Structure 1
């Protein structure tokens, strides 16, 4: 299944079609000029785009825009060109080394080459690198203005990107027809994370320039990498759409992303705070979300808060039509069933009129930074901003800031080299600094807010939440110090999904499995210092140490510094009734519950690919038991009554985040059994000697290491090999034989051992 979004302006009206077949966008103006944005994956051009062109009576496309070089965007576009259905200009990002696929022999690289060859083979198609600020005149009062291309901004600013993440180079277009405006930006990234990487934030600055729009296509199919809060707050769209078919395997559109959109105020201040689907009975005001097909109920990653053009049983036939005259109203309807699922008489919205006519004076962009990024208590902080505006000189740039909520005197930011700067004095440990940078140019003002905690901050200070249950200081920079209660490779393999606790509370420490941020394994009972960004996932507070892909090769201000080893921390004894009285106050902490028993559900008898849940009771109340699939808890049967030990977590994916609390045991030992799995560490971490006393910090601990065998067996009886990985080498010794290892083969060895 592929997905499709089409915008068609016909008979003096604008019509938008959302179809699950192809990642593409078609616009036909009243003057008859046509624009195709993207073409979907291989097969989609032939099977989806061309049949749609035929049904619309469009012989050839006048302009194409390829947002970026991913196969699900350019594969079908090459087919449309090869079918002689394009006769005009083909816009894209050009062939700069940082924008093209890193491997031309991969499927993405081959699709990119096929796209270029298709254009080269058709003299009627002229390839042209699009520049931010370029306006495509489609006639009849309709224009498509390029806001962002390859990290370059219409304002004249830029965001560092590279081809480690081709999505971040996406072209962003603001389509305007009379007073109606629509924003489409391909797979543009917003600083969000997947398990594999953290993305650069480009869409925030697209939002700064786009301002208030009627309709937005959620970037990257509604994934977790995009549609950040700053972006959604800026565009205030009454309607959002995401191009994703019901059979996609990526969990698009993501439930948290869509729920974030619905909880964001639109032009009139309205938002939807429920957990269902917003009503459109009566005058529809938004926010309302649409998708071409309904999301599968069995996939808990995807949203169920949608109006869809087709049921799963009718997958592939979910085209949605958006119809407007650009001045009064626009309506949406499901095309394939004649408006049965989405009735245009009901799904009708007023054009918000917040951006009348065609935009010629765009707001400035403000790209903030601070130095040092993670300040000590002794550090004054320089707040800087790259401020750019295409139309007029920059007027004033002002820094407003507050210390622990107390406003301070505003500071005029002065130009120093390429950025405007102002200083905030050094603050004591744990002091919260909130700041807002406001820039004015040509009567337009752009503001962006941020903040940090100075020095070392008690974990409890990071736990403040807003009315939606979100961390109040999301995106703030903080440093904590505490003791590890759930070490690396407990709740996640090959990365940090750890828990750290101090005297005030506990917190999840997270790192995506990227190759940008150095990996530092932690050990139970170890004192660590952690530096990162405050964030959350599923309502669960985290300190994220991940760096975005554009930071490769840069100094790493975020991360974990290992300290001394100590005694494994004791779990705090609680009753379930006490937990339920204020579960948020316990989130992230290691607790123990006596006289626990499973009263509903069960622990899976064997390993599963997903987490499982049961219900436990201690006689005072009941609580959710989480069986994390990365632990060895699956396959274990505790006694009928046992002492339950674990980390209090939260798995709630719809606002307000006020439920979904659970206790997650770290291993079988937390249920009264024996621990069976030692942590897998890098060799450098296994050999760690933080105080340089030549005694390993993990002396006597059971660990696992994996590396390449570099020696023969030095022992005629027993075993002594040397192995090494990318971090160092180590001697493996045992009085009993291991499996014979051949160093000539340089095979990989995975060994369990005690550090000695």
Structure 2
């Protein structure tokens, strides 16, 4: 019996030591080291942003949300507030966060990926925004972040022609005809792209199915077990075989906007794999059909078929009611769900029920949110507190070298220092 307790005590000390190496509540986050995979889900209260540091130090920004400051909903209890505070603009807070946790003293983003063209994912034009002194474009979202931290390669869903689902001018004529701020947002983004490419930035459309478009840049040979699979771009979805992608959407008729896929359903999606660890993220892709929707608006189902089980999944469309469908939940079966939330719509009540239901998949699952509003608690009730491990803060997934284990670390989003609030794990990866 004494031997048993000695062994147990030793095991606990070893585990606590490992946790201490990863992070300690109240302390600064230990710096990324080569071999680790860090995935920061950054909270500014104004949209989605994720910053990844791959095992060899390659970096990637996925989205840079900055909502229109004149949008009436941002001043209501329906929406989160800017965090840490409103002394800086959201793009400045994003850049500040990247500079704090970037592995290099002079940060550069090897990749920036914009999942789709909504302001909470790439930034909104508004009259008062500052302007780039040389480029003639406004600084908001990705255009602002890139003005502070150089981007080597920008990936989106349309470069260079932006002719999907129909020709660029026809698309903009339709979606921008009664929405001057949106038209100006797109035109501002295109000016940024043009200036960036002229000054050495690369740009391309994400290639669905590819595992070679996003690659390690500094020590690829040391990490053959790491890869980024492009799952979806516009209507093209990876087939599950080699790099072949198939078109999920029927052709759009230029003169019939009802045949066009909406912006959310054209979102990009990727799968990150590191050893036995698997991570899914998919912008605002929808999966639940409402009255009048075409059946092909459900893009989650065909994506889930080829993705299979994952360790960590971010909520499509922040967990809104048109996403995170039953098939996706029971197919991906993540141990960890991450909600990049900023609205009382995140998550929908029925979405939360699906995520926690033991009838869709067995075993434990931990839920984390960047912002959980009081409005959600009023509507959904105690299920929120029973379901979530953390409801406020930056969410870091730190995968240990080799990919066999990972932690979820919550960082304080109320202070620029972003110290550790809580540590969860270690979790064993799927194929440990």
TM-score range with shorter-chain normalisation? 0.5 to 0.7
Q: 1:291 aligns with which of 365, 369, 373?
A: 369
Q: Which residue of 1 aligns with 2:18?
A: none
Quick one: distance in 2 between partners of 1:117 and 1:104? Answer: 17
C-alpha distance after superposition, 1:244-285 (max 9, x if no partner): 13xx2x52112210220111568xx524xxxxxxxxxxxxxx
SS of alignment partner, residue 323 of structure 2: coil
CA drift of 1:243 comes to 0.5
Q: Which residue of 1 aligns with 2:9?
A: none
Q: Which residue of 1 aligns with 2:233?
A: 149
CA drift of 1:33 comes to 1.3
Quick one: distance in 2 between partners of 1:265 and 1:211? Answer: 18
Quick one: distance in 1 between partners of 2:206 and 2:294? Answer: 27
Say if 1:151 and 1:159, in contact at 8 Å, map to a contact too.
yes
Quick one: distance in 2 between partners of 1:309 and 1:87? Answer: 34
Quick one: distance in 1 between partners of 2:150 and 2:193? Answer: 12
Quick one: distance in 1 between partners of 2:338 and 2:357? Answer: 15
C-alpha distance after superposition, 1:279-337 (max 9, x if no partner): xxxxxxx3121102333155415861322253xxxxxxx11222111533211122127
Q: Which residue of 2 aligns with 1:234?
A: 331
Quick one: distance in 2 between partners of 1:51 and 1:222? Answer: 27
Q: Which residue of 2 aligns with 1:116?
A: 190
Quick one: distance in 1 between partners of 2:146 and 2:267? Answer: 21
Say if 1:90 and 1:125, in contact at 8 Å, map to a contact too.
no
Note closer, same or farther for the CA distance 1:210–1:82 as it changes in structure 2 (3 Å cut).
same
Note closer, same or farther for the CA distance 1:203–1:185 as it changes in structure 2 (3 Å cut).
same
Quick one: distance in 1 between partners of 2:204 and 2:379? Answer: 42
Quick one: distance in 1 between partners of 2:306 and 2:152? Answer: 31
SS of alignment partner, residue 343 of structure 1: strand
Say if 1:9 and 1:30, in contact at 8 Å, map to a contact too.
no
SS of alignment partner, residue 64 of structure 2: coil
Question: Which is strand-richer, 1 or 2?
Answer: 1
CA drift of 1:55 comes to 0.5
Q: Which residue of 2 aligns with 1:90?
A: 155
Say if 1:293 and 1:309, in contact at 8 Å, map to a contact too.
yes
Higher relative contact order (CA 8 A, sep 6+): 2
Note closer, same or farther for the CA distance 1:125–1:331 as it changes in structure 2 (3 Å cut).
same
Q: Which residue of 2 aligns with 1:181?
A: 278
Q: Which residues in structure 2 correspond to 1:585-624 (within 5 Å)? A: none
CA drift of 1:149 comes to 0.8
Note closer, same or farther for the CA distance 1:111–1:163 as it changes in structure 2 (3 Å cut).
farther
Scaled by the length of structure 1, the TM-score of the pair is 0.39
Q: Which residue of 2 aligns with 1:684?
A: none
Say if 2:288 and 2:321, in contact at 8 Å, map to a contact too.
no
Note closer, same or farther for the CA distance 1:47–1:81 as it changes in structure 2 (3 Å cut).
closer
C-alpha distance after superposition, 1:181-207 (max 9, x if no partner): 1000000010343x8967810011111
Q: Which residue of 2 aligns with 1:270?
A: 362
Q: 1:257 aligns with which of 351, 363, 368?
A: 351
Q: 1:15 aligns with which of 38, 58, 78?
A: 38
Q: Which residues in structure 2 correspond to 1:300-379 (within 5 Å)? A: 300=379, 304=384, 305-310=387-392, 318-325=393-400, 326-336=402-412, 338-340=419-421, 342-344=422-424, 347-353=425-431
Say if 1:189 and 1:220, in contact at 8 Å, map to a contact too.
yes
Q: Which residues in structure 2 correspond to 1:514-525 (within 5 Å)? A: none
SS of alignment partner, residue 300 of structure 1: helix
Q: Which residues in structure 2 correspond to 1:184-203 (within 5 Å)? A: 184-193=281-290, 200-203=297-300
Q: 1:47 aligns with which of 92, 97, 115?
A: 92
Quick one: distance in 2 between partners of 1:97 and 1:257? Answer: 30
Question: Which is helix-richer, 1 or 2?
Answer: 2
Say if 2:396 and 2:408, in contact at 8 Å, map to a contact too.
yes
Note closer, same or farther for the CA distance 1:113–1:321 as it changes in structure 2 (3 Å cut).
same
C-alpha distance after superposition, 1:510-529 (max 9, x if no partner): xxxxxxxxxxxxxxxxxxxx
Say if 2:337 and 2:368, in contact at 8 Å, map to a contact too.
yes
The gaps in structure 1 that reach 5 residues or longer are: 1-7, 272-285, 311-317, 357-756
Q: Which residues in structure 2 correspond to 1:468-487 (within 5 Å)? A: none
Note closer, same or farther for the CA distance 1:82–1:119 as it changes in structure 2 (3 Å cut).
farther
RMSD: 2.8
Quick one: distance in 2 between partners of 1:149 and 1:24? Answer: 19
Quick one: distance in 1 between partners of 2:332 and 2:283? Answer: 16
Q: 1:159 aligns with which of 232, 248, 256?
A: 248
Note closer, same or farther for the CA distance 1:54–1:185 as it changes in structure 2 (3 Å cut).
same
Say if 2:40 and 2:52, in contact at 8 Å, map to a contact too.
no
CA drift of 1:25 comes to 1.8
Say if 1:88 and 1:124, in contact at 8 Å, map to a contact too.
no
Say if 1:38 and 1:67, in contact at 8 Å, map to a contact too.
yes
Q: Which residues in structure 2 correspond to 1:564-643 (within 5 Å)? A: none
Say if 2:409 and 2:420, in contact at 8 Å, map to a contact too.
yes
The gaps in structure 2 that reach 5 residues or longer are: 1-30, 68-87, 124-140, 240-244, 251-258, 413-417
